[in-house]
Amino acid sequence: MKYIKFNIDEMHQRMVFCEYRDFTEGKGPMLTRAFPLDAIAEQEPKINELIVGNEIGMYYELKGSTEVRETQYLERIDSIDDEIVEWIKEFVERACVQGLWDELLKPPTVDQQVEDFIKEFFDEEENQEEPLEKKDFLAEFFQELEDDDKEAADSKE
């Protein structure tokens, strides 16, 4: 017996949540993952297919023989088709048990944070013609120190 939970929250948090627990050989550990919607949709495009149009979310939960299947809209809730439920079960196992998309959960590197900052505050269209200039600030700093030392030595003579 397995516990499986899957939730796409497109409206409020823009996240995809997965939970998995295997009770086949006793109570196994609860495995959980929470992915940013845009990031996981790049890796698994089917996610976007599940929430096209007026859908604002999807919720599936399997507890023993009890199932909750919801495609959520602003004004109503519909049931999820059997083939989508099978895909959801496979997705949750790949996410939680196999850890297939765990690299998406790692914090961004300093370089990625700098790139994101630049993208956020500077218009890319302005800078498309001019590539970003890469500078070695430490090398420049030490070169300036050497130049200053030479100037100081020349002025003493």
Closest-CA residue to 53 (of 10, 93, 16): 10
Q: In the structure encoding, which two tokens stand for residue 127, read together?
A: 């800078």
Q: What pairing do the DSSP bridges indicate for beta strands 55-63 and 31-36?
A: unpaired
Could you give phi then psi for residue 115, rounded to 5 degrees? Answer: -60, -45
Asked if pLDDT for residue 155 goes beyond 70, the answer is yes
Q: How far apart are CA 120 and CA 45, in angstroms?
A: 25
pLDDT in tens, 44-83: 999 999 999 899 999 999 999 999 999 999 999 999 999 9
The pLDDT > 70 percentage for the chain reads 93
**Alpha helix segments (H runs only) across 2-136:** 37-43, 46-50, 82-92, 110-121
pLDDT in tens, 75-120: 999 999 999 999 999 999 999 999 999 998 888 788 888 888 888 8
Q: How far apart are CA 104 and CA 42, in angstroms?
A: 10
pTM of the model: 0.69
| pLDDT at 43 (0 to 100) | 94
